[in-house]
């Protein structure tokens, strides 16, 4: 889309001429930023990444897509970007271990924030981000965009809010995508590319030798940088269930699993995991396997709500309501907007079925930056869903259930578990919970 053809897409967002920066210019960083450009005449004033090749490519793309037609300046250091350009809105699309520090810096600089999920790599980081956002009065939208997915919003209205499920007694969330690399250390270790600052990429995480799986996009296979399949995929569907049903804080989490099949892989996250999230009056059960087939091939990454009057199946492509007895079946599917946004058809790496949800998420964020209200995926909701998923991984490692005291921000009667609420940072970096 050329800069001249943007006008038709902006609708009521013509006054949202914000100065925007992106920290983390990889796959989803570009997806998020380019969707924002589609819905408002923002000015991208800076891109930041420690991969100079990735950074240059993102700058070229943004230069052809933003309304002013200019290629934005690029930075390797996010603090330099914040100090020099003073953006109004910052998008953070880094690996999970690099969420907290730039988020805190952006909030401190006075910017509002779009923060990819999970909000943090440990629970204490998420608490620090939430507290800083509230103290500074900043608007923070979390990238749990199932809340803004048009067909899922329809499902919520037509099925859940309409009471068609009856009494809801159980929910399931799952992912059976083969997302965990099968590369072995022997064929994955390699010299650091000359365009990548590996030391800075590692940041506060433990220093490990570079490998060709971790960058780009494979870092979720390593517990040093993220929270595995649970932190990547469970959080989306668990958050969707929480939103659909109005669930608050998790009360108890129990999880088991491990590396049962892909034992030779360089990846160190579980290839098999089950978790039970206990909320007031409802248990939500998660399953993932990065091998084998999905029990329901139509819904390999999905959530299921079970009521005494029927069942709702839903994912990023479609939903269906199956009543008990002779009731009427209902269904819906993803809303594509390819005619309105033709660039979606050719954009490299885009998830066409998710683009409408990201646009809606960005529109909601912009409205909330105007009225200073809470966005649909406010930082507190993102923190709650993130914390539940991190607790699941903690439970799996510790081998026992964890009872969460949300008010005290601690695991009840478990000193060992509480020691894991904040991960140690590498020398030279200071954990935000330490003030």
**DSSP state, residue 345:** G
- For residues 375 and 365, the answer to whether their CB atoms sit within 8 Å is yes
**Distance of CA 435 to CAs 80, 109, 252, Å?**
21, 16, 28
- pTM (2 decimals)? 0.96
All CATH 3.30.360.10 domain ranges in the chain, comma separated? 150-340+382-434
Query: Cα dihedral angle (225, 268, 235, 302), rounded to 10 degrees?
Result: 140
- For residues 244 and 238, the answer to whether their CB atoms sit within 8 Å is no
- For residues 311 and 329, the answer to whether their CB atoms sit within 8 Å is no
Distance from the Cα of residue 88 to its chain's centroid: 21
Rounded distance, CA 157 to CA 385, Å?
22
All CATH 3.40.50.720 domain ranges in the chain, comma separated? 3-147+355-380
Encoding tokens for residue 414? 């478990």
- For residues 89 and 13, the answer to whether their CB atoms sit within 8 Å is no
At 433 the pLDDT is 94
Rounded distance, CA 162 to CA 64, Å?
45
Which residues lie below 8 Å from residue 403, measured CB to CB, with a gap of 6+?
251, 252, 411, 412, 413, 414
Q: How many residues does the chain have?
A: 435
* SS3 sequence of 258-280: ECCCCCCCCCCCCCEEEEEEEEC
At 14 the pLDDT is 62
Rounded distance, CA 107 to CA 118, Å?
17
Which residues lie below 8 Å from residue 346, measured CB to CB, with a gap of 6+?
none
Q: What is the helix (H) or strand (E) element at residue 314, kind and residue range?
A: strand 310-314
Looking at domain 3-147+355-380, its CATH architecture is 3-Layer(aba) Sandwich (3.40)
At 326 the pLDDT is 86
How many CA atoms does the CB half-sphere of 146 hold within 13 Å?
Answer: 28
CB count in 10 Å sphere of residue 335: 14
CB count in 10 Å sphere of residue 26: 22
112-115/89-92 β-pairing: parallel
Rounded distance, CA 145 to CA 358, Å?
6
Query: CATH fold of 150-340+382-434, please?
Result: Dihydrodipicolinate Reductase; domain 2 (3.30.360)
> Per DSSP, what are the bridge partners of residue 48?
23, 75
Tens-digit pLDDT profile for the chain (435 aa)?
A: 333 344 344 556 666 789 999 999 999 999 999 999 999 999 999 999 999 999 999 999 999 999 999 999 999 999 999 999 999 999 999 999 999 999 999 999 999 999 999 999 999 999 999 999 999 999 999 999 999 999 999 999 999 999 999 999 999 999 999 999 999 999 999 999 999 999 999 999 999 999 999 999 999 999 999 999 999 999 999 999 999 999 999 999 999 999 999 999 999 999 999 999 999 999 999 999 999 999 999 999 999 999 999 999 999 999 999 999 988 999 999 999 999 999 999 999 999 999 999 999 999 999 999 999 999 999 999 999 999 999 999 999 999 999 999 999 999 999 999 999 999 999 999 999 997
φ, ψ of residue 5 in degrees (nearest 5): -90, 5
Strand stretches in 164-266, DSSP E? 168-175, 252-258
Which residues lie below 8 Å from residue 110, measured CB to CB, with a gap of 6+?
86, 136, 138
Rounded distance, CA 171 to CA 243, Å?
13
């Amino acid at each position: 889309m050329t800069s001249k053809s943007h006008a038709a897409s902006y609708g009521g967002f013509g006054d949202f001429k914000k100065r925007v920066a992106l920290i983390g210019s990889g796959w989803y960083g570009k997806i998020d930023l380019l969707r924002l450009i589609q819905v408002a005449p923002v000015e991208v004033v800076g891109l930041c990444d420690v991969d100079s090749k990735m950074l240059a490519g993102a700058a070229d793309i943004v230069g052809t897509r933003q309304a002013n037609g200019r290629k934005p300046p690029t930075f390797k250091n996010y603090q330099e970007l914040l100090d020099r350009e003073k953006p109004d809105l910052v998008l953070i699309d880094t690996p999970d271990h690099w969420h907290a520090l730039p988020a805190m810096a952006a909030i401190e600089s006075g910017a509002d924030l779009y923060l990819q999920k999970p909000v943090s790599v440990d629970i204490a980081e998420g608490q620090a981000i939430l507290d800083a956002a509230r103290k500074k009065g900043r608007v923070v939208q979390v990238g749990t965009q199932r809340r803004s997915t048009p067909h899922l919003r329809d499902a919520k209205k037509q099925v859940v809010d309409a009471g068609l499920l009856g009494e809801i007694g159980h929910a399931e969330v799952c992912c059976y995508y083969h997302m965990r690399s099968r590369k072995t250390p022997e064929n994955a270790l390699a010299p650091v590319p000359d365009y990548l600052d590996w030391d800075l990429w590692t940041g506060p995480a433990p220093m490990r030798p570079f490998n060709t799986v971790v960058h780009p996009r494979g870092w979720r296979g390593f517990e040093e940088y993220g929270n595995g399949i649970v932190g990547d995929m469970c959080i989306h569907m668990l958050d969707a269930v929480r939103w659909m049903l109005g669930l608050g804080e998790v009360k108890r989490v129990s999880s088991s699993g491990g590396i049962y099949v892909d034992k030779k892989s360089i990846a160190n996250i579980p290839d098999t995991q089950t978790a039970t999230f206990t909320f007031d009056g409802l248990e939500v059960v998660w399953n993932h396997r990065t091998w084998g087939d999905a029990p329901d091939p139509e819904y390999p990454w999905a959530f299921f709500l079970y009521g005494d009057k029927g069942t709702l199946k839903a994912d990023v492509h479609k939903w269906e309501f199956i009543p008990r007895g002779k009731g009427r079946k209902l269904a819906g599917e993803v809303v594509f907007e390819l005619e309105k946004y033709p660039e979606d058809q050719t954009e490299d790496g885009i998830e066409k079925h998710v683009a409408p949800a990201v646009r809606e998420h960005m529109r909601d964020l912009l409205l909330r930056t105007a009225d200073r209200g809470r966005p649909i995926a406010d930082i507190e909701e993102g923190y709650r869903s993130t914390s539940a998923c991190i607790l699941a991984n903690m439970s799996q490692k510790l081998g026992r259930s964890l009872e969460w005291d949300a008010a005290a921000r601690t695991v009840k009667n478990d000193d060992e578990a509480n020691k894991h609420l904040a991960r140690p940072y590498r020398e030279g970096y200071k954990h935000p919970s330490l003030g």
